[in-house]
């Protein structure tokens, strides 16, 4: 799903359901960061497959580690920004790493059902997931998760707000 917000849906839903066990910022950022690859390929026009090396579990795991390190370094301003949405979460290296791994690897999994150019288990070539789930079903799943994530977030926010009053 090149540079689309679809991956935010499952990440948001997981983040609000499993809050505070998962780091919401790490989960959201890592769930979309891999789509830098197709964006760069489209902008530069290299002619390479849109879902290449970054859309593999190996590189997605490495990207998750990089994202985790950056989030840890920027945790002060990131968590202040998060508090604007009524979400107060303490930084935890382990929670950030686990959430980043979930975000990047779930991105690879979801895209694996759709894109024939992917080799998710690189260096092993091929995509065993291709076509197992219809493309429309993946998009619907992501949208439904996004709506459900917003509803759960709003419900939790209202409960927190009413308990503080």
Give strand ranges (E) for 7-124.
none
Q: Which residue ranges make up each domain of the chain?
A: 5-164
What's residue 54's pLDDT? 94
Burial class (CB in 10 A: 0-12, 13-18, 19+), 17: middle
112 vs 50: which has the higher pLDDT: 112
Cis amide linkage into residue 20, ω under 30° from 0? yes
Average pLDDT over residues 83-101: 92
What's residue 35's pLDDT? 93
What's residue 85's pLDDT? 86
What's residue 3's pLDDT? 57
Q: What percent of the chain has pLDDT over 70?
A: 96
Q: What percent of the chain has pLDDT over 90?
A: 74
Cα–Cα dist 151/154, whole Å = 5
What's residue 136's pLDDT? 95
Average pLDDT over residues 49-73: 96
Question: pLDDT digits over 6-60, tens only?
Answer: 899 999 999 999 998 999 999 999 999 999 999 888 899 888 888 999 999 999 9
């Amino acid at each position: 799903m090149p540079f689309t917000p679809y991956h935010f849906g499952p990440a948001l839903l997981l983040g609000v359901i499993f809050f505070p066990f998962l780091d919401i910022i790490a989960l959201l950022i890592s769930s979309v960061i891999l789509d830098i690859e197709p964006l760069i390929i489209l902008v530069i026009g290299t002619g390479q497959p849109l879902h290449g090396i970054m859309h593999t579990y190996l590189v997605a795991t490495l990207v998750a580690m990089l994202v985790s390190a950056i989030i840890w370094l920027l945790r002060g301003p990131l968590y202040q920004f998060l508090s604007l949405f009524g979400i107060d979460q303490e930084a935890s290296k382990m929670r950030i790493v686990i959430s980043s791994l979930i975000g990047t690897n779930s991105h690879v999994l979801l895209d694996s059902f759709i894109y024939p150019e992917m080799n998710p288990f690189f260096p092993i070539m091929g995509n065993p997931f291709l076509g197992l789930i219809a493309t429309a079903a993946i998009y619907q799943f992501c949208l439904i998760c996004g709506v459900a994530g917003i509803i759960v977030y709003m419900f939790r926010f209202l409960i927190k707000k009413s308990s503080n009053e």
